[in-house]
Amino acid sequence: MTAENTFSGLSVTVSNDAGQSVTPNTVVTDPKIWRGLNLIARDVARLPLDVFRRDGDSREKDTKHPAYSLLNRVPNTYQTGYKFRELLTLHAIVYGNGFAQIVRQGSGVPVALVPIHPSRVTISLNQVTGNKSYIIDSRTKLMDTDILHIFGLGFDGLRGMGLCEYGAQALGLELAARQFGSLFFAQGSMGSFVIYHPSNLSNTAKKNIVNAVNELHSSNKNAHKAILLSDALKIEPLSINAKDAQLIELRKFSVREIANLLCVPPHKLGDDSSTSFSSLEQENQSYLDQSLDPWMRNWESECWAKLLTEKQKTNDTHFFEFNRGALLRTDLSARFSAYATAITNGWMSRDEVRRRENMNPIPGGKGSEFILPLNMATVDQQQ
């Protein structure tokens, strides 16, 4: 009998001290979380994921490799490469795991990548052989080689922890604060209050006074309307105001909390209270290094493991790599200055620069030549 451990691919609801229901469907309703998810998933998707062929010290883009078209153009019958990578990255952040079935021809060549929602997947580990398999909808079993699995940080090496799992407390507080703010303003920003009257009133009179005051301040549009009181009637608030409740400060703090959860700079989510960098290029470099690069390396390593043949992996002839430079576009003057330095020092040709700017090569092949200043020479030539 084979011993197996089974791990669910999804935690539906996670408890928290704020008493909020923290699920993928509830957390994405928060604008700050939605923006953070959009940033990461969109930026990972928009950077080209290329397949390269290695030959000694040289490398060239292999556009004829079947994985190149699947990842960048048409992975399946209903998605583009951009939307496919955006979706799997989003699933990997929110649910901890992004899954896609690798459909292969009889020869083993991948011909399609079909996303599978994480709620449909259970991961099974055979403790005898060490093989991992994926059960879809509790009935279809696929081997590890037939699933492209993008997943984040986890404790068992089989699945990643989703945003709702590791961020339950912070997300619960954010959802509670947003709910409190909505209710606060729905009540006309007054909250609860008590009505004093020195004499005894009939039940009907009490009900009429309470209904009249509640109706006047039952919504935000009535918040600043005047109240006409009798000589003896007195109203005093019981609840604290927005300032005393530190509602504004709490919402600002939640931006930094969510930024920490998603590993993005706070200013990317609208917190401009502090900026550590003096230029857009430096900000983008930090965002690339801290936020995007871990996910891109995740993609690169998983594609290498699942979309290359065993011969290609053994001989180390192919690899996957994002074009990270596509994110670090500086202003025109700085970019052209960098190009000029690269050309005059001989480590970029003019055609390589023109290709980066989506321009045609220089006619006659002259643009592919590397140039150096005439007064430069190697050390041995100077002796």
Tokens 């970029």 sit on residue = 348
pLDDT of residue 182: 56
Q: What's residue 250's pLDDT?
A: 53
Residue 195 binned pLDDT confidence (cut-offs 50, 70, 90): low
Q: What per-residue string of b and e applies to 141-168 under the rule 16 or more CB within 10 Å gives b?
A: ebeeebbbbbbbebeeebbbbbbbebbb
Classify the C-alpha dihedral 155-161-165-166 as positive or negative: positive
Q: Please tell me the distance from the alpha carbon of residue 191 to that of residue 180, in angstroms, as a whole number.
A: 11
Distance separating alpha carbons of residues 245 and 248, to the nearest angstrom: 8
Please answer whether residues 113 and 70 qualify as being in contact, where contact means their C-beta atoms are separated by less than 8 angstroms: yes
In this structure, of 23-27, 248-252, 283-287, the range with the lowest mean pLDDT score is 248-252
If you write DSSP's letter for every residue of 119-136 in order, what string do you get?
Answer: GGEEEEEETTT--EEEEE
pTM across the whole model: 0.74
Residue from 121, 157, 112 nearest 141 by CA: 121
pLDDT cut 90: percent of the chain above it: 37
Q: Looking up tokens 């509830």, which residue turns up?
A: 26
Task: State the amino acid at position 237 in one-letter form.
Answer: P
Q: Evaluate if residue 220 carries a pLDDT over 70.
A: no
Q: At what angle do helices 31-46 and 81-94 cross, to 10 degrees?
A: 140
Q: How far is CA 213 from the centre of its chain?
A: 47
Give pLDDT, residue 255. 80
Cα(362)–Cα(263) distance, integer angstroms: 43
- Tell me what the mean pLDDT of segment 285-306 comes to: 93
